[in-house]
C-alpha cells in the first residue's frame, strides 16, 4: 500500500525555519519523483520544489530560491524540504506528492509546474506569523 506522510509543519515567526519530512512507503525513491506543493486559503495549489528519481535533478520555484532546499534520504525513503527565512506568504498547507516521470530536469520541472501526481499525502500546515 502506497502512503506518503508529511510531518514537520507548525507555527513559526517571520524569518524562522522549519524542516518538512515526507516519509514514503509502498515504493522507493529510485522509481518515483517527489514534489512539495502548497495551497494557501483562497489560492490555487502551487508546486514549491520537486526532486527527480535517482539523480534526476531538483527544481525550486523562483519565490523560494535561496530560502528552501529539497533533499532526500534514500535509506529512509524520505524527502525533506528545509525552509529558511520564512515569510507570511509561505503560510499554506504543504503536501508531498509522488509520480513516475522520466528521469530529466524538464520532467521534474513539469511535475512542479503542472501539479499532477499519482500519489498525495494528507498535508501539513505551515503558518508564519509577522
How confident is the model over 65-94, as pLDDT tens digits? 999 999 999 999 999 999 999 999 999 999
Please, what's the b/e burial string for 59-68 (b: 16 or more CB within 10 A of its CB; e: otherwise)?
Answer: bbbeebeeeb
pLDDT at 120: 97
- pLDDT greater than 80 at residue 102: yes
pLDDT at 115: 85
In the numeric block, the cell 494528507 is attached to 122
- pLDDT greater than 80 at residue 56: no
Integer CA distances (angstroms), 109 to 7, 120, 121, 123, in order? 24, 18, 20, 21
Closest CA to 51 of 109, 118, 94: 109
HEC string of the chain equals CCEEEEECCEEEECCCCEEEEEEEECCCCCCCEEEEEEECCCCCCEEEEEECCCCCCEEECHHHCCCEEEEEECCCCEEEEEECCCCHHHCEEEEEEEECCCCCHHHHHHHHHHCCCCEECCCEEEEEEC
C-alpha cell, 28: 522507493
The fraction of the chain above a pLDDT of 90, given in percent, is 88
Amino acid at each position: 500500500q502506497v502512503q506518503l506522510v508529511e510531518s514537520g509543519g507548525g507555527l513559526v515567526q517571520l524569518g524562522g525555519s522549519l524542516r518538512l519530512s515526507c516519509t514514503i512507503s509502498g515504493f522507493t525513491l529510485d522509481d518515483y519523483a517527489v514534489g512539495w506543493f502548497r495551497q494557501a486559503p483562497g489560492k490555487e495549489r502551487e508546486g514549491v520544489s520537486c526532486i527527480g528519481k535517482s539523480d534526476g535533478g531538483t527544481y525550486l520555484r523562483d519565490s523560494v530560491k535561496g530560502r528552501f532546499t529539497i533533499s532526500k534520504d534514500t535509506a529512509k525513503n524520505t524527502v525533506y524540504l528545509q525552509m529558511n527565512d520564512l515569510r507570511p506568504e509561505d503560510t499554506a498547507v504543504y503536501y508531498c506528492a509522488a509520480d513516475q516521470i522520466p528521469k530529466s530536469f524538464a520532467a521534474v520541472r513539469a511535475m512542479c509546474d503542472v501539479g499532477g501526481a499519482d500519489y498525495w499525502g494528507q498535508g501539513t500546515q505551515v503558518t508564519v506569523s509577522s
